[in-house]
Amino acid sequence: MPVLAVWFLSNTTKSLGSSRNMLGIALVFSFLGDVLLGLVSQLGEHFFLLGLVCFFMTHLLYILVFWNFSSEKRGLLQQNKTLAIPFFLFFIAINTYLHTSLNPVLQIAVPLYSLAIIVMVLASLNLHHRLPQPLSRILFLGALSFMISDLILAINAFKEPVAFAPVWIMITYLGGQYLIIKGCLGVLRG
């Protein structure tokens, strides 16, 4: 994450304002989340919850950035709200699947977190028609990839081992973050 943050900040200027700042802060929260999740095995499970909070903040900041990308055009979800249904059905299905494997605190935290990531994916999907297609696709694929990394992480941590989980998690997580930042960079540069 530090490399991605340096790349992003070195390719933007302060004049880009709040979106640039929110993206920089989102990357800091992501880095903190990475560090905290890395400490779980040595220092205890409460570091998982702290990492979850950091990534929750990352998703909220991405949502705000996506919503701040101004356009006179209506987004894809604004034109067809039914496109959100499969995402919310997925939200219900995965949280139902994980629920019995979570402790009481995580039974609250994980659904809240997964709601944030679903909303982040939907906010990126809504950018279709509002932004040039290549940028909206990059942002959506980045958000979707980030969500997939969290899905693999959750199944592997709480339900059953996923073959090569660390590899898949890092590929989808880093790829997702890169695509989100690359897409945002394209939008901010105009």
Give the Cα separation of 67 and 61 in Å (integer): 10
81 Cβ contact partners less than 8 Å away, ≥ 6 residues apart: none
| Per-residue pLDDT tens digits for 32-73 | 999 999 998 888 888 999 999 999 999 999 999 999 886 778
60 Cβ contact partners less than 8 Å away, ≥ 6 residues apart: 116
| Per-residue pLDDT tens digits for 140-188 | 999 999 999 999 999 999 999 999 999 999 999 999 999 999 999 999 8
At residue 131, the 3 state secondary structure works out as strand
